[in-house]
Amino acid sequence: MSVFSVVRQENQTAAAQSSKIIAAHEEASHRVFSALSSQFGRPEAFWNVQTYTKGLMTELASKNTWTISEWAGHPTPDRLQYLLERARWDEASAREALGKVTIDVLGTGGILVFRPRTPRTVRNP
């Protein structure tokens, strides 16, 4: 067996593993977006959630509404800025839906702790 055939076999194995990881990521993303779809009153807001979320997961050097909008092909960042500033959605229901999907995807073999954001009290010595 030559060195080249060993390298080729290793590359094929790595490609197969990469394909499995990508497929698992796409499945998890689909489940998350499906769980969130009912949280928004308008489909446009939900589409912008998908765009913004996918943009945050890219390898953009700077991640803000301008760069993500450019990456997504939007002429201006207005859609994403509207989503972040004025879109109406039920945060508690979205958090609950994401919690259920997280448990479904990750399983219950470990311990998952969800802590709500609470303001921290800073004490002066």
pLDDT digits (tens, 9 = 90+) for 33-61: 888 888 888 888 888 988 998 898 889 99
The per-residue pLDDT for 109 is 59
* CA distances from residue 120 to 117, 124, 125 in whole angstroms, order as listed: 9, 13, 16
Q: 74 lies in a domain?
A: yes
Please tell me the distance from the alpha carbon of residue 71 to that of residue 94, in angstroms, as a whole number. Answer: 26
Within the chain, what is the greatest distance between any pair of CA atoms?
70
Residue type for 14, please?
A: A
Q: 114 lies in a domain?
A: no
Q: 26 lies in a domain?
A: yes
Residue type for 97, please?
A: A
Backbone torsions φ then ψ of 58, nearest 5 degrees: -80, 180
- Tokens in use for 58? 């890219």
Contact 83, 45 (CB under 8 A): yes
Q: 110 lies in a domain?
A: no
- Specify the pTM: 0.62
List the domain range (segments joined by +) for residue 45.
3-104
> What average pLDDT does the chain have?
79
Q: 121 lies in a domain?
A: no
Q: 90 lies in a domain?
A: yes
Q: 37 lies in a domain?
A: yes
DSSP 37: G
Q: How many structural domains are present in the chain?
A: 1
Terminal Cα-to-Cα distance of the chain (whole angstroms): 70
